[in-house]
Amino acid sequence: MNPISILPTGIIQQHNTEDTANNRQRLAKKIAKLATQGARLIVLQELHDSLYFCQTEDVNAYQLATPIPGDITRFYSKTAKENGAVLVTSLFEERLPGLYHNTAVVFDSDGSIAGKYRKMHIPDDPSYYEKFYFTPGDLSFEPINTSIGRLGVMVCWDQWYPEAARIMALKGASMLIYPTAIGYEPQDTPEEQQRQRDAWITIQRSHAIANGLPVVSVNRTGFEASPDEKASGIRFWGSSFVAGPQGEILYQAPTDEETEAVVNIDLSRTKQVRQWWPFLRDRRIDEFEPLTRRCCKN
Amino acid sequence: MNPISILPTGIIQQHNTEDTANNRQRLAKKIAKLATQGARLIVLQELHDSLYFCQTEDVNAYQLATPIPGDITRFYSKTAKENGAVLVTSLFEERLPGLYHNTAVVFDSDGSIAGKYRKMHIPDDPSYYEKFYFTPGDLSFEPINTSIGRLGVMVCWDQWYPEAARIMALKGASMLIYPTAIGYEPQDTPEEQQRQRDAWITIQRSHAIANGLPVVSVNRTGFEASPDEKASGIRFWGSSFVAGPQGEILYQAPTDEETEAVVNIDLSRTKQVRQWWPFLRDRRIDEFEPLTRRCCKN
């Protein structure tokens, strides 16, 4: 693995429909376009092949799940190879009938599966009923080795946990990557919507700062109605972004438009920034045992 | 302890000189002013009695250290009692001759010492030679019980560590409080200065978000020359702020002016926000053991 300094990173923020074949074909076209523009790493949004089906608990949605490897991974494997780019995908994994995960699969530029990450933190809130569908991951927080570096890939809800980001950094991740599906509750006030989106950006920037690493976060965009007529659907807030190792925003997509972009990430800044801000030097690990507890109150 | 909903919180951002008696008298006046305005909690900046003496390694600076309790704590004890406010101070503690800490002392509104916190993470960078002066704290990350709540008091460099904030939250802190001394290196570019200040705000807002807690951070302001003629001094960037439990900024002081302010913090929002964003519910503690390691690479 040769160390890369400047890594052209492609991100695809898409508005999905219920036509999964079409969603996938549109992604393949955009991947080809970004590769032509020089992208060596391309990151897709969470569960990018379908609608965000977790707005309700519906056993029919399991039809969307795929074995790994399977036809879907063969499709993305071919796409990665044809475009010579490392590809971070997010799939609904059928591990066994009745056992499902929310799984990021990373394809290397030769089309091989470099590794997978099973979402560790599973949310469950109104409109995000993920605990119904996904068993929490059992592959730990383990960066995935690729030809362009050791990628700290996680998924959505993981992004709210500084512990997860730190472990990826301690295990030698060269960057953090979060495929995501998050949006506004249409009935919230504009102020509350703004606070939530701002908190989402802030917490991920803070992982860059605390760990001196770039962060890539790719979210979906557009409105998806809920199958439950009493629920008001989700307006996904887009805002996919790339931050450098001081948390500085290098690129940010609009909230409400499909977007593809290539962002140059200077991986050599990690070492510089960590020398200026030597946070890893001073961690009080002798006093961090409480982090492995649920709570310190009985 | 009656649960308080709205907590009027005073912060004092001061420009210090080498006249410690005058620094202290000015603080006492401002404390009285804020108490008159209703403040029930008042937070001072880091090492608020003196210049930031850690710009060089100088044994003469030990003259500034104080035993706890001692004349200095008696002064602040009296000040807290006279004003009926809980007071968070930041002192240079002489524990034994030859053994010193950077210690936050919290006075309850009756003048008693509610508790102390010895800075756990000690920085050491050009112009911030703290490892020369301060032994790392040995009181763990332990919130301090007061008549207005259980305060998660830490000091400056601690603010860069999500682990520390999390432990305070798991131990039942009602808010996080950081007396601070941080500023621009005058020779850095304006862009670099802005990135640093922005990172400092962002990482602390992220502790509010991750833990659903208000954060109060109080920094000094103004330029302090270095005793070392080759060094260029520090322009402390002020920007003291209060964030709510979604990381939303409730108040922010200017960069370059002395400021006193009373900010109303709604402590009842913590429970609401944690119910909306139940991050504490889902922490993967079964996989957090690596956090207690220096690094996962040999």
Please report the ipTM that was assigned to this predicted complex. Answer: 0.97
Cβ-based burial of B15 (10 A; exposed 0-12, middle 13-18, buried ≥19): middle
CA dist B227 → B48, B51, B54, B57, B58 (Å): 18, 11, 10, 10, 9
Residue B246 with chain A: CB contacts under 8 Å: 195-196, 199
**Confidence band for A2, pLDDT divided at 50, 70 and 90:** low
Residue A45 pLDDT: 98
SS3 A42: strand
Residue A199 with chain B: CB contacts under 8 Å: 209, 246-248
Which amino acid would we find at residue B196?
Q
- B65 phi and psi angles, rounded to 5 deg: -75, 155
Is some CB atom of chain B closer than 8 A to the CB atom of A279?
A: yes
Instruction: Tell me the mean pLDDT in the region A145-163.
Output: 98
Cα-to-chain-centroid distance, residue A223: 19
Cβ-based burial of B252 (10 A; exposed 0-12, middle 13-18, buried ≥19): middle
Q: Which of A150, A200, A291 to mutate to test the interface with B (most CBs of B within 10 A)?
A: A291
pLDDT at B215 over 60: yes
Write down the catalytic residue from A94, A116, A130, A156: A156
Which amino acid would we find at residue A284?
R
Is some CB atom of chain B closer than 8 A to the CB atom of A271?
A: no
Write down the catalytic residue from B119, B130, B224, B260: B119
pLDDT at A130 over 80: yes
Cα separation, B145 vs B167, in Å, equals 15
Average pLDDT in chain A: 97
In terms of DSSP H, where are the helices of chain A? Answer: 20-36, 71-83, 130-133, 162-170, 190-211, 269-276
Query: Is A247–B203 a contact, with Cβ atoms under 8 angstroms apart?
Result: yes
Check whether the bond before B97 is cis (ω within 30° of 0). Answer: no
Query: Is B287–A196 a contact, with Cβ atoms under 8 angstroms apart?
Result: no
Q: For residues A109 and A132, is the Cβ–Cβ distance under 8 A?
A: no
- B165 phi and psi angles, rounded to 5 deg: -60, -45
A295 belongs to the catalytic site: no
* Helix (H), strand (E) at residue B240: none
Matching residue, tokens 């009985």: A298
Residue B2 pLDDT: 53
| Partner residue opposite A294 with nearest CB, options B136, B141, B285 | B285
In terms of DSSP H, where are the helices of chain B? Answer: 20-36, 71-83, 130-133, 162-170, 190-211, 269-276
Q: Give the tens place of pLDDT for each residue, A259-291.
A: 999 999 999 999 999 999 999 999 999 999 999
Residue A297 pLDDT: 87
Cβ-based burial of B54 (10 A; exposed 0-12, middle 13-18, buried ≥19): buried
Q: Check: pTM over 0.90? Answer yes or no.
A: yes
Task: Classify strands A41-44 and A6-13 as parallel, antiparallel or unpaired.
Answer: parallel
Residue A1 pLDDT: 47
Q: Give the tens place of pLDDT for each residue, B19-43.
A: 999 999 999 999 999 999 999 999 9
B296 belongs to the catalytic site: no
